[in-house]
Every structure is written in C-alpha cells, then in structure tokens.
Chain A
Amino acid sequence: MPAAATATSRRTTEPAGPLLRVDALQVRFGSQEVLRDISIDLEAGQTLVVLGESGCGKTVLLKTMIGLIRPTSGDVRFDGTSLASLNDRALAHLRTRYGFVFQGAALFDSFTIFDNIAFPLREHTRIPEAEVRSIVESLVDEVGLPRSVLPKKPVQLSGGMRKRAGLARALSLDPQLMLYDEPTTGLDPIMSDVINELILRVRNRPHVTSVVVTHDMHTARKVADRVIMLYPLFRLRPDEPQIVFDGTADELDRSTDPRIRQFVEGRAGARLMELREEQARANGGTTIDDGPAAIDPPVDDSDYGNEDDA
C-alpha cells in the first residue's frame, strides 16, 4: 500500500476524542442561511453518509469540514485542532491528512492522469521520482484503472474513470479522513456500484474515516455506518433542527417521518403541488393539469417533528 513515511509515523497515536467535531456550525452567504446549528461528532474509523435533497447544504458542510468554506459561526475541529485557529500554512499542512473526492473529480485539465495523481506526492514529500511512479501505479491498480490511462489527459477519460482517478489522487497521501462529494452522481448504475465498492475498500484501510455526501440511497445503504439527513432551511421553522435524522441506514429505512419517507422512497409528493402552484402563478392563475395518473398523492406534512428519529 502506498504510504508516505510521514503519514505512517503520525498514525502511531490515536486521537483521544472524535476525529472530527463539528460544533454549532452556521454558514451564511450574504443574507442566505445555508447551515444552522449543525453539530456532529465523527469517531475514527466511522463512515458517515450525509443525505439530503439538492440545495440543503451537504456540499457546503463537506467543504466547511476541510476549511474551504469558513463558517459564519461555530467551529470545526480535526483531531482536536480547531480549523479556525490555524493560519494558511498550518491549514494547508493539516489538509494533507484529508482526501477529497470532488463531484466532477476536479482533475487538473492541463496535467496527465499520472501528474494529477502524483501531484500531492510531489508537493508534500521528497520521494524520488521512481518511487512516485510506483506509488501512482499501485494507486491506479487499487481503483481498478488500467495503467494505459496514465499518460492521458482527463478529457480523454469517461466520467467513471475520472472519478476513480480523482479517488486515486485523494488516496495518494494515505489520508486519515476521506471526504466524498456526490461520488456516484452522473454515473450509470454499474459504475455507481463500482464506486461504492471502492468506498468500501477505502473504508477497510486501517484508520480511515469517511464522510460521504450523496442523495443516492443505494450508496447510503451500502457504505454507511451512520447516516445523517439534512433538510433545506427554507422548509423548516426557525426552531426546527436542520439534521432531521441521525442513525443507521436500517433505522432510516424504518423511519416513519414523512420528510424522510418522501426522500427514501423518492416521491415528489407535496413538491409537485408547489411546482404546479408556481407554474400557475407564472401563467397568470391558470392551473396546469398533468393528469392524475402521473403523480403520487402529496405527503401529509402536518405531523413534522413528531418522529423520534430527528
């Protein structure tokens, strides 16, 4: 397994508390509040799946965990160190203990796949070039890519291959915390399952902790030790918590909270009525009839907050 010497030595001590602590986090962009009072303790070795519909702040939460977005208030602590207390240099150093898999892979267009995967090794270690090559080759083997992709540019690869190359790059410094942003979005079901398998493999590496942001229930059921579900703030009352579920994937499936059931079963429900009302308003009050067979009956949202799951 490729591992820089520095990475191996720092694993000798286990963190006393949770590896990652998110404490009373609030994020606002101008007047728009995206995250409110989010608190999560993530133990080392755990795989946390963050679920939620588009626009609920999942990616913002993930980027706040690595310090790419500064919280408006609250704190993020990695291995006991507050990210807010670090200067740019110390934060950059701390980030070498993270691996981040971006939604679109975010490979550097002007680099080859080899240079992309080798980038963190060249940036943060003094490993000889021959060893860098051997580490990169073992990483592409690990994510199931043929070595023939190494001299190619990212644009020459399919979406699934780019995702796997992004995963290989994120693994190159042998991180303690892996962050995945929508790892299966835009992939066919077979490739999605391949990515899920790879997340499981990474989870089985010693001491790797993972946070997976997704809206794919299949991914959640397959890889999660723990699932939390975020709800968009504009659909919540000011006194309601934004994390509407915190438990295991099985508990999520058994939940009777209508907000969770709607997401798990993938029903538009009341949202379709909202859409119709908005279209009607746009058309000057004319109601649009899509036909009764096309939609599920709207979910009764009246008993929000009555579930113990939240």
Chain B
Amino acid sequence: MASNDTPTNASSSTGGVAGWFIDQVANLGQFAIAWVIGVGDVAVFALQTIGWIFARRQRRDVLLPNFYQIGVMSLPVVALTGLFIGMVLAVQSYAQFKALGLETRLGSVINLSLVRELGPVLAATMLAGRIGSAMAAELGTMRVTEQIDALESMGANPIYYLVVPRFLGCLVLIPSLTVMADFMGVLGGYFYSHVLLGIDYHHYWANSREYVDVFDFLMGIFKSLSFGAAIALVSCHHGFHCEPGAEGVGRAATNAFVHSFVMILVLDLFLGIWLNNVHDFFRPEGPRKLL
C-alpha cells in the first residue's frame, strides 16, 4: 500500500508514546503550514484588491447596488442594535452607580463604552452576520455556477468586478453605520436613564460631555474602518474559494461570519492597545478619571 510510505503512518508503526508524540507534532506542523498558507493567501488577495482600487475606476452602476445593499439595507438592524446596547448599558450600570450615589455619572460610562467599544464592535459583529455571510454566499454561488470563470473567460477581472465594490462599500459604510449605532445607543441610554430611571438630564449630559471627547469617538470610527476592511476581505475570500455544492456555499457563509468575528475581536484588542498609546502620546496626563 502506497499510504504506508507516509511519514505519519511510519511513525505510528513504531508504536507507543514516542510514535503518538511524533504524530501530534506532525499534525501540529501540518496545521501551522496550512495556517501560514491561508494567511498568505488572504494577504495576496488583499493586495490584489487594493491594487485594483487604484488601477481602474469603478463603474457607478456596479458600485451603487453594492452600497445600497451594504448601507441602506443594514440601517434598521444597526439602529436597533445601537438602541438596545445603550439601554442595556443603563440597566446594568445603574445599580452600581446608585450605590455610590453617582447615578448622574451614568451618561459618561454609557457613552464612553458605546463610542469606544460596544458601538463599533457590536455593529461590526451584526454586519459580519448580515453582510459578510451574504457576500460569501453570493460569491460562493457565483463560483459554483461558474459565473466567476465566465467573467475571467471574457477577459474581465473578477476581483475588480466583484471584490472591489464590496470592499469599498464596507470600508465607507461600516464606519457610517457605526456612527448610526453610536447615535442610537446614546439615545437609548439617555431614554432609559432619564425617562425610566429619572436621572436629571442636565447632569447626565454635562458628565457625558466632560468625559467623552472627540478622540474617543474617532477611536471607534478608526476601529470600524478596520473591521469593515476585514469583513469584506475575509468574506469575499471565502466566497472566492468556495467548495462545490450547496454544502460548500453554506460552509463558506458560516466560515465568513466566524472568521470575520474572530478578526473583529483580535483587531479590537490590538487596535485598543495601540490607540491608547496614541492617546497617551497626545495627552500625557492620561485619561480623565470617571470616579
């Protein structure tokens, strides 16, 4: 049998703990190689996409439908997400702040959490599910039904036609949608705090203005820009490399969401660290204390 010549089986045949250990190391090595190849593949895909943005101007009739799908169609769900995050933050923080007699500071913690973290991350997560999966499924179906091959056979570049409009749509509109999520969150937090919990609106807004500044807002927008790029590239890459059949398309859509979500979390951590350093560089006195 030819398969007996493989190193894995050869090591297994030695038996015992040593053979098992060698197998695990070999598996780990294979996993690492596959991971490096995968990351390299996405990096090349990203470079090709960025190259095509500058190589040729996009046609309006290709760009606008993508912008409509990504931006306009996502507005309600993003607005709803933002509204509820704001209210939930008020619900969860109120008891703690009231115990300290600092409930008028609720506005600062709700709005700061929203614009720096929860607005961008949860809006991006929602959009990874709504847009990312849809993009992967659509491109996957195009791959399976040979529409991408058809584009290439007609001398057209599929990255220019299919990826660049979606990438630009995510890059421009996910930050815009994050602004909407932030706005609705601020509104939701205020509604719950003032109307339902009876916190004085003057102090609520005064504290918000004191502790939340433009940098916090821009930090969230910068993050959402990165999340948008990551969602577009990861999802389009999964769609482009879709396996045949309905199962392949389904797997591409699922993986697009899962990997986009992981990318959002990883980027959020590293961008958070880096942007805090940037903040400290411009404001050496450090962040203002909430309490």
Contact = CB atoms under 8 A, between A and B. Distances in A.
A63 interface: yes
A120 B154 contact: yes
A95 B158 CA distance: 14
Contacts of B141: 109
B157 interface: yes
A106 B146 contact: yes
B146 A103 contact: yes
A272 interface: no
A88 interface: yes
Nearest to A173: B154
A96 B153 CA distance: 8
B147 A123 contact: no
A92 B65 contact: no
Contact of A108 (B150, B152, B155): B150
B131 to A, nearest CB: 16
B154 A95 contact: yes
Interface residues of A, number: 25
B26 interface: no
Interface in A86-105: 88, 92-96, 98, 100, 102-104
Contacts of A110: 65
A201 B150 CA distance: 22
Contacts of B155: 92-96, 120, 123-124
Interface string B150-164: 101111110000000
Interface string A123-159: 1100000000000000000000000000000000000
A263 interface: no
Contacts of A173: 154
Question: Of residues B65, B149, B154, B156, which shows the largest number of chain A Cβ atoms within 10 Å of its Cβ?
Answer: B154
Contacts of B154: 95-96, 100, 119-120, 123, 169, 173
B272 to A, nearest CB: 38
A166 B145 CA distance: 13
A100 B153 contact: yes
A123 B156 contact: yes
Given A88-B157, A92-B157, A106 B152 contact: no
A68 interface: yes
Nearest to A122: B59
A66 interface: yes
A102 B146 CA distance: 8
Nearest to A124: B155
Nearest to A108: B147
Contacts of A63: 149
A20 to B, nearest CB: 15
A304 B146 CA distance: 36
A95 B149 CA distance: 12
B152 A104 contact: no
A84 B187 CA distance: 60
Contacts of B145: 104, 106, 109
A102 B149 contact: yes
Contacts of B142: 108-109
A66 B155 CA distance: 10
B150 A102 contact: yes
A85 to B, nearest CB: 17
Nearest to A103: B146
A66 B146 CA distance: 14
A103 B150 CA distance: 11
Interface of B: 65, 141-142, 145-147, 149-150, 152-157
Interface of A: 63, 66, 68, 88, 92-96, 98, 100, 102-104, 106-110, 119-120, 123-124, 169, 173
Given A102-B150, A107-B147, A124-B155, 6 more contacts: A88-B157, A107-B150, A119-B154, A120-B155, A123-B154, A123-B156
12 contacts: A66-B153, A68-B152, A88-B157, A92-B155, A92-B156, A92-B157, A93-B155, A106-B146, A108-B150, A120-B156, A169-B154, A173-B154
